[in-house]
Every structure is written in structure tokens, then in C-alpha cells.
Structure 1
Amino acid sequence: MSAPSHDHDEMDECVAALARVHAFLHSELVEADADVIRVHLHACERCMENYEIESTITEMIQRSQPEEKAPDTLLARVSTMRITRRF
């Protein structure tokens, strides 16, 4: 059984796309990077299959965890804090 053909030449594109699939799933990429992943997934059946598997697993994990909300007092304290960085 042969591997599915790719519309692109480099397997490096697949490696790069799959390395960032979790960040893509969680909307942690800037839009330009997310667009690159979207284009790749649209062109590459193998990577799309991997993405769909990861997406299903992520959804199952999210559904199995109860949504937790921080207490209002903690939210109020955090929102009034001033964050400073020391270099």
C-alpha cells in the first residue's frame, strides 16, 4: 500500500504543520501563522487526518472537564494588580 500523494514537495511542511497543530487547535497562533496551517491542511490529506484526530481528542478532553470559574474575589484582585517585570 503506497502513501497518499502530496500536493506539496516537502515533508518538512508536514512536520512544521503537525508541530503547531495543538497551538492551532487552541487558537494560540497569530492569524498569519494560522492561515499557513489552514492552507497546508486543505492541501494535505495526511495532515488533515492527523488534525481531525487531534481535534476529536481535544474536544473529548474539554467535554470531560467541568468548567471551573475563579471566585469573584480572586478575579477582582487579579484585575486590580499591576504587573511589573524585572530584568
Structure 2
Amino acid sequence: MSQEHDEMDECVQALARVHAFLHEELVEADADAIRIHLHACERCMENFEIESTITEMIVRSQPVEQAPTTLAARIQTMRITRR
């Protein structure tokens, strides 16, 4: 029972971070941990595939727009001065 509980904890943790993983917002070590878990857990892989499909559909449905050059430059300046 304890091992099953630990495995459920791993599943909960992996699925809680799946969106960050899909958007490549995790550090590489955390992303690797998610990859390892997904390859070992069929249930989580199924959930991941569903989330991945939904994310792809959302991305495809949004038009690709770029910020005006002046806005992008202002944002970059703000990022540099805040560090």
C-alpha cells in the first residue's frame, strides 16, 4: 500500500507540472524527471497526450502576431534595468 501511495504522489506531482512541461518552463532536471515518469506510467502518459493535444489545438487556433518593434525594445529595456 505504501508503494502505491508513493506512486500516486509521483503521478499527482507529474500531472500538476504537465502544463509547465508542455510550455518548456521547467529547468532541464525537472523536465527529465517528468519525462522519466511519463515513460514509466501509462496512465500519466495518456493524460499527458490529452493535455498535449489540447495545447497544440489552442496554439494552432491563435494567430501568430509579433509585437511592434518599439514595444519589444521597450520591454527589453525594462527587463535589463530590473535585473
* TM-score for the superposition, normalised by structure 1: 0.81
Shift of 1:79: 2.6
Structure 2 unaligned regions, length at least 5 = none
Structure 1 moving runs of 4+ over 3 Å: none
Using the alignment, how far apart are the partners of 1:11 and 1:74 within structure 2? Answer: 45
Identical amino acids, percent of aligned pairs: 78
Q: Count residues in correspondence.
A: 78
Higher relative contact order (Cα pairs below 8 Å, separated by 6+ residues): 1
Q: Which has the higher helix share?
A: 2
Counterpart amino acid of 1:16? Answer: Q
Q: Does 1:61 align with 2:65?
A: no
Deviation by residue 1:29-59 (Cα, 9 ceiling, x = unmatched): 0000000000000000000000000000000
Structure 1 unaligned regions, length at least 5 = 1-7
Q: What is the RMSD computed on CA atoms of the aligned residues?
A: 1.6
* TM-score for the superposition, normalised by structure 2: 0.85
Aligned to 2:9: 12
Q: How does 1:1-87 map to 2 (within 5 A)?
A: 9=4, 10-81=7-78, 82-84=80-82
State the SS of the aligned residue for 1:69: coil
Counterpart amino acid of 2:37? Answer: H
